[in-house]
């Protein structure tokens, strides 16, 4: 158990479920707004928006209402896609691993789920962060964001001479996956994310894992900065499936040898 600045990092207990699920929803859905703003400003999407406006003007004989409606529909589509990426992920996870955290993350000594608990007033505690480790389950991660598992759109590199699937399967049982790295917004930038990651890495080392893998998205800039600062290296970038492409979100895989 680690303790610092009144925050204790400990193993998950059954009574934590409501707070942990609320933290998971809040932190994951929090990516929708920055992802939407990024999609709106993306040069390709600006070009497409102009194309939509010009096409609407030509087809409607210059009706401003039709042009405004077409632009609003485009903006609505981008918001829907960004919502679908993160909202869809939350929906899926609440039906799978997060539906029974103890069964999924605490049923084997090689897995664990931690919570960071802060004392906010005398005797009153609140969960302000989480992190989890499971065994890497093969080429498609257990906790991929909606659409991540698609083979379509793999943009870049596996390590030289290694196929994306063969390496993890060969090493099954020795490769860990880091999950659910979440810190409540008001508690960020105080070193808690780093402490949670360190807790998970120490566990991976003690359990004899040779490598730790994680997946995140291109809009999760804080998480990417944290992982890279802790020695994780980018190994794979995937685009989302074609229908989700205007969201301009990529899925990144990062790895760290132990």
> Of the candidates 191, 208, 231, 257, which one interacts with ligand COA according to CB under 6 A?
191
Of 141 and 244, nearer to ligand COA (C-beta) is 141
> Of the candidates 81, 226, 247, 254, which one interacts with ligand COA according to CB under 6 A?
226
Give me the residues paired with residue 209 across strands: none
Comparing CA positions, the residue from 25, 36, 24 lying closest to residue 81 is 36
> Of the candidates 220, 238, 250, 251, which one interacts with ligand COA according to CB under 6 A?
220
How near is the Cβ of 7 to ligand COA at its closest, in Å? 10
Calpha distance 82→99 (Å, rounded):
24
Of 67 and 184, nearer to ligand COA (C-beta) is 184
> Of the candidates 82, 192, 213, 244, which one interacts with ligand COA according to CB under 6 A?
192
Calpha distance 71→64 (Å, rounded):
10
Calpha distance 13→102 (Å, rounded):
8
Instruction: Tell me if 244 contacts ligand COA by CB under 6 A.
Output: no
Stretch that binds ligand COA, among 104-112, 167-175, 198-206, 218-226 (CB under 6 A): 218-226
Interface positions, 147-186, toward ligand COA (CB under 6 A): 181-183
Which phi and psi angles does 128 have, rounded to 5°? -115, 0
> Of the candidates 200, 216, 246, 248, which one interacts with ligand COA according to CB under 6 A?
216
Stretch that binds ligand COA, among 34-42, 47-55, 154-162, 216-224 (CB under 6 A): 216-224
Interface positions, 5-64, toward ligand COA (CB under 6 A): 27
Calpha distance 7→177 (Å, rounded):
24
38 and 86 in contact (C-beta within 8 Å)?
A: no
Stretch that binds ligand COA, among 13-21, 41-49, 147-155, 222-230 (CB under 6 A): 222-230
138 and 164 in contact (C-beta within 8 Å)?
A: no
Interface positions, 96-115, toward ligand COA (CB under 6 A): none
Calpha distance 67→71 (Å, rounded):
6
How near is the Cβ of 182 to ligand COA at its closest, in Å? 5
Instruction: Tell me if 225 contacts ligand COA by CB under 6 A.
Output: yes
CB atoms within 10 A of CB 24: 18
Taking the mean position of all CA atoms in its chain, how far away is CA 37?
Answer: 18
Question: What angle (nearest 5°) sits at the alpha carbon of residue 224, between those of residues 221 and 228?
Answer: 140
Find the helix or strand (DSSP H, E) in which 28 lies: helix 17-29
Give contact residues for ligand COA (rule: CB under 6 A). Answer: 27, 181-183, 188-194, 216, 220-223, 225-226, 229
């Amino acid at each position: 158990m680690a303790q610092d600045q009144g925050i204790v990092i400990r193993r998950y207990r059954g009574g934590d479920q409501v707070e942990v699920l609320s933290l998971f929803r809040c932190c994951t859905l929090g990516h929708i707004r920055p992802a939407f703003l990024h999609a709106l400003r993306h040069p390709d999407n600006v070009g497409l928006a102009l194309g939509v406006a010009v096409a609407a003007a030509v087809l409607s004989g210059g009706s401003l209402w039709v042009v405004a409606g077409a632009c609003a529909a485009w903006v609505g589509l981008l918001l829907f896609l960004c919502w679908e990426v993160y909202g869809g992920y939350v929906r899926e996870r609440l039906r799978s691993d997060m539906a029974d955290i103890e069964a999924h993350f605490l049923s084997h000594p090689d897995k664990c789920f931690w919570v960071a608990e802060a004392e906010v007033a005398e005797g009153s505690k609140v969960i302000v962060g989480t992190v989890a480790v499971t065994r890497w389950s093969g080429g498609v991660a257990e906790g991929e964001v909606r659409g991540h598992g698609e083979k379509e759109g793999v943009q870049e590199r596996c390590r030289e001479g290694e196929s994306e699937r063969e390496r993890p399967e060969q090493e099954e049982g020795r490769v860990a996956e880091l999950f659910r790295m979440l810190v409540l917004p008001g508690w960020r930038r105080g070193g808690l994310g780093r402490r949670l990651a360190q807790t998970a890495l120490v566990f991976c080392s003690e359990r004899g894992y040779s490598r730790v893998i994680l997946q995140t998205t291109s809009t999760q800039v804080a998480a990417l900065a944290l992982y890279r600062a802790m020695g994780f290296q980018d190994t794979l970038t995937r685009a989302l499936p074609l229908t989700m492409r205007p969201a301009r979100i990529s899925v990144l895989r990062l790895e760290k040898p132990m």
